[in-house]
Amino acid sequence: MALKNQRSQTAILENAKIALQNVETNPTIKSLMESLGYNAAKMAEGITVLQTAKSSYDENQLLDDNKAKTSKAFEDKRIALNVNFVRDRKKARVILSDDPLVLKELGVAGGIPKTYVKWLENINQFYNTLKNQPELAAKLTSVQITPEYITETLAGIAEVESLRAARTQNEGITQNATKIKDKAFKDLDKWMGSFFAIARIALENEPQLLESLGKFVRS
């Protein structure tokens, strides 16, 4: 649906651009339109409305692309981090299997939470507990969970949180830009609607000229 809407909006912009340009470049059309109020000032108004819609469309597209990139960066990093977390949990449960209280303290006694907030709490609990208890972490060095690895993983968690915050911010900015764009297209649709209504009157005896503005005329 979004792709269809995107294509229709680019078509709206292109059709409006062609119509306004053809008024300016065709002396006959220009004269007939001027006789019904569409003089230079009125046409300049239409061009401004069109440019506003085009600018808001371009800005919205740019923000949409940025939002998609930020979202992908977040998901890629989160997934990669979770893959390591799942493996590290398994290692800890094997090495520390004889100490259920420690497993509970690490947060690996149960399953991995499904929601992001709970997952974040769980993964932070695991690696921060190991960081704050070197003697406990030392028991896992044999399975490549070293102090350096723990520090690196905690940095990765912080990056995931930062990327999620950026994604949330971009979503809000994009939603606002979409509202602005939709308003600009409504203004353009209204202006062009009046424009074509007058064009049909001005060019009722010149149907081929009306078609040059993008309006099909039945023969």
User: Residue type for 52, please?
Assistant: T
- Token pair for residue 9? 């909006």
- How far apart, in whole angstroms, are the C-alpha atoms of residue 176 and residue 96? 51
pLDDT value at position 47? 97
- How far apart, in whole angstroms, are the C-alpha atoms of residue 202 and residue 62? 39
CB atoms within 10 A of CB 38: 22
Q: Which long-range contacts (CB under 8 A, 24 or more apart) does 156-165 make?
A: 156/77, 156/80, 156/81, 157/81, 157/120, 157/123, 157/124, 157/127, 159/77, 160/74, 160/77, 160/78, 160/81, 160/120, 161/120, 163/70, 163/73, 163/74, 163/77, 163/78, 164/74, 164/78, 164/116
**Do residues 25 and 17 lie in contact, with contact meaning Cβ atoms separated by under 8 Å?**
no
pLDDT value at position 79? 97
Give the residue extent of every domain in the chain: 2-211
pLDDT value at position 4? 42
Q: What is the mean pLDDT of each run of 10 residues along the chain (219 residues)?
A: 62 94 94 96 97 97 94 96 97 95 94 95 98 96 97 98 95 95 96 95 89 68
User: Residue type for 148, please?
Assistant: E
Q: What is the pTM of this model?
A: 0.78
pLDDT value at position 206? 86
**Do residues 137 and 150 lie in contact, with contact meaning Cβ atoms separated by under 8 Å?**
yes
